[in-house]
Structure 1
Amino acid sequence: MHATPDPNVRRQLWARLVLAITLVAFAVWLSATFIPSLLWAGVIGIAIDPLYTRAEARWPGGRGLALPAIATSLIALVVLIPLALGLVEAAREARVLIAWFEAARAHGVPEPAWLARLPFSHDLAAWWQAHLATPEATAQEWARLRGVLLAEQSQLVGRSLLHRGIIFLFTLVTLFFLLRERDRLVAQLNIAARKLLGPSGERIGLQLVRSVRGTIDGLVLVGIGEGAVMAVVYIVAGVPHPLLLGFMTAIAAMIPFGAAVLFAIACALLIGQGAVGWAVAVFAIGMVVVGIADHFIRPAMIGGSTRLPFLWVLIGILGGVETLGLLGLFVGPAVMATLIMLWRDYVGEGAGVTAAPAPPASPAAPPPPDHG
């Protein structure tokens, strides 16, 4: 006979469950602003884990404070140094741009010679004469642009920069403690995964880690490669500020087909200089580079580590970017890869799922009677 469960024990279990769900929901609501920092710290920790493990093996005494502090400082420098160089270059260009605007307000913007070689050149020339050719028209357009962009967007840009700066600072703090408590945290996560999900819990954790690393390799490294190749193309073609534009291309190339926006900017700069042939060549070479990277190299690097078809990789990346911004580049494919792994386990195609035994063979038919 089965023992009747104690009603008090059952009530206590339900009370603990309700309390746990309530506390988790309240904690998520309380820390919603810093959840991106936690996710960023986890992504960065997974990305640098192989190098960090080697550093721990060579310097075991630095596990407490020194190695986490050094690793966090290096990550901060990797982000802040290119950002500072970009801000310095942007400030330099802003001075040049302001001087150009002041000259345009005083004298107008003459119609460039290359405008006559474009399609619909008559309509474009008429628009140019009406809006930019005279000082009065240029001053009016500049006042309209300043009123729309500067007045309305300056406060939003300032708030966004302050918010992102706080998130970045908290990400560094979280990363420091994550690296310092890495071993204990991984052990606790493995125990919790086995208790909640059974034998497949550890596989899900490994799949998440592999997905994040594969996405980093396929997006970041391939994006850096695209930016380096296109920087050389920009230098040969004579694009203004080729190194800065190559750096921006590398960042945009982390999003599939995002580098095409930078190719268009480079082409516009070349057309502004009258180099239409080089503009066509830059755009053609850029699309070839993007085609090879996005259709051959990137699917092999991401799909090979996640066992995920590139269509689902693309959905995870684009959907993640739309929902979570830059963080979605890494979170989206990891979520998709884990979901596909669970689906394969459910339909019997995952690792560790044994095939169903074959049905027994039907008995052989008896031989025909011998009438001889």
Structure 2
Amino acid sequence: MLNNDRLLVQILLLVLFGASFWVMAPFWSALFWGAVLAFASWPLMRLLTRWLGGRESLAAGILTLGWMLLVAVPLVWLGFNLADHVRDAVALIKDIQVDGLPEAPSWLGSIPLVGERLAGMWDSIDQQGAALMVSIKPYLGQVGNWLLARSAQIGGGILELTLSLVFVFFFYRDGPRLAMFVHRLLERLIGERAGYYIELVAGTVQRVVNGVIGTAAAQALLALIGFLIAGVPGALVLGIVTFLLSLIPMGPPLVWIPATAWLAWKGDYTYAVFLGVWGTFVISGVDNVLKPYLISRGGNLPLVIVLLGVFGGLIAFGFIGLFIGPTLLAVAYSLLTDWSATQAQVRREDKPCN
């Protein structure tokens, strides 16, 4: 009877935990981002708490308000500037419909082997511009639906970001107590190594944050330099957009490719070629070098584990996988290393002495 009662209690606990996870499922992503933001900026929280005489709630409120101003104000300003650029893009499309494409650049026809064919295609597109617009008109509705869907995703992302900024207040205020709870729970599960694995996960997440933010800042700075050299208008706005889009895979080309096309349309072919090369090999190329280096720096994980964690996590879980992937592989690698070392020690102790 006692065993049956214990089994019933265990089943009820499992049901309770399952129901709790189900209730919290819509907020997991926002909770995760709030936790990552709080953890990455925890030194600021400790410093501000010390300045305020240990008043954690006040420090958490001030820091959260600062994040809201730091994130919300640039997003609103960026939205107004992007609206202006959208109007410019619409005007450009109307000009193409009325005036057609400009004459093919002279260097296009001088390209070996394919130059004449490319120049002919350019003239053909210009001559058939009206027919082309008629043929693609049925697809404009599909493009509009696609843009509407992307707008809904952006709106959902903004809502998720807002929830993350709300949750970060509670992570700031209750961070030490949450850390103690997690530490006690892991001690109950895995014993003395709990502290080691907490430090392993914390260090991995910190290095990923440094790698993502550091790489995004580097790409934004390089993009700003390229836009200023090429004379692209709104270079500062485009640099900020590059920083934001650098946080997602293949984001920066969404900025420098349209800028390159705009330069080519205006006839600045030299700067268009420069920006295309700069974007391909410098802006986008630095991501493949700097991010893995910053993530692996200061840790004892092999670089191949870091790379597999970053790219595999992105494929498996999306952008959140950028943090989940390296963390999972780091814990798994450390568990296997500990298990291997333990087994080797056991074999040495069991080996008979001659």
Task: Give the TM-score band, short-chain normalised.
Answer: 0.7 to 0.9
**1:140 aligned to 128, 131, 134, which one?**
134
Q: Does 1:227 align with 2:220?
A: yes
Aligned counterpart, 1:199: 192
CA–CA distance in 1 between the matches of 2:197 and 2:208? 16
- Larger mean Cα displacement after TM superposition, 311-320 or 282-291: 282-291
**2:152 aligned to 141, 148, 159, which one?**
159
Does the aligned pair in 1 maintain the 2:241–2:255 contact within 8 Å? yes
Does the aligned pair in 2 maintain the 1:259–1:290 contact within 8 Å? yes
SS of the residue 1:50 aligns to: helix
Q: Does 1:109 align with 2:101?
A: yes
Distance 1:267 1:102, change over 3 A: closer
Aligned counterpart, 1:369: none
Aligned counterpart, 2:335: 342
Query: By how many angstroms is 1:128 displaced?
Result: 4.0
**1:218 aligned to 211, 214, 218, which one?**
211
CA-to-partner distance for each residue in 1:57-93, whole Å, 9 max, x for gaps? 11135312x2222222222223223322322221111
CA–CA distance in 1 between the matches of 2:221 and 2:146? 32
TM-score by structure 2 length? 0.84
- Larger mean Cα displacement after TM superposition, 171-180 or 248-257: 248-257
Read off the aligned partner of 1:68 and give its amino acid letter: A
CA–CA distance in 2 between the matches of 1:160 and 1:255? 14
Query: By how many angstroms is 1:13 displaced?
Result: 2.9
Distance 1:71 1:340, change over 3 A: same
Identity between Structure 1 and Structure 2 (%) = 23
Does the aligned pair in 1 maintain the 2:215–2:291 contact within 8 Å? yes
Distance 1:99 1:300, change over 3 A: closer
CA–CA distance in 2 between the matches of 1:105 and 1:111? 15
Query: By how many angstroms is 1:333 displaced?
Result: 1.7
Does the aligned pair in 1 maintain the 2:292–2:307 contact within 8 Å? no
> Map of 1:75-94 to 2, 5 A cutoff?
75-94=67-86
Read off the aligned partner of 2:75 and give its amino acid letter: L
Aligned counterpart, 1:311: 304
CA-to-partner distance for each residue in 1:280-328, whole Å, 9 max, x for gaps? 4445555256656643x44443213442222222222223323433322
> Map of 1:197-276 to 2, 5 A cutoff?
197-254=190-247, 259=252, 262-276=255-269
SS of the residue 2:41 aligns to: helix
Query: By how many angstroms is 1:246 displaced?
Result: 2.6
Quick check: which one's helix share is greater? 2
Does the aligned pair in 1 maintain the 2:104–2:123 contact within 8 Å? no
CA RMSD of aligned residues (A): 3.2
**1:171 aligned to 145, 164, 175, which one?**
164
- Larger mean Cα displacement after TM superposition, 107-116 or 208-217: 107-116
CA–CA distance in 2 between the matches of 1:355 and 1:222? 45
> Map of 1:346-357 to 2, 5 A cutoff?
346-348=339-341, 356=348
Q: State the structure with more CA Rg.
A: 1
Matched pairs, number = 350
Query: By how many angstroms is 1:215 displaced?
Result: 0.7
CA–CA distance in 1 between the matches of 2:53 and 2:238? 42
Query: By how many angstroms is 1:14 displaced?
Result: 2.2
**1:149 aligned to 140, 143, 146, which one?**
143
CA–CA distance in 2 between the matches of 1:110 and 1:188? 67
TM-score by structure 1 length? 0.81
**2:20 aligned to 27, 52, 75, which one?**
27
Read off the aligned partner of 1:92 and give its amino acid letter: D
Which runs of 5 or more residues in structure 1 are unaligned? Answer: 1-6, 363-372
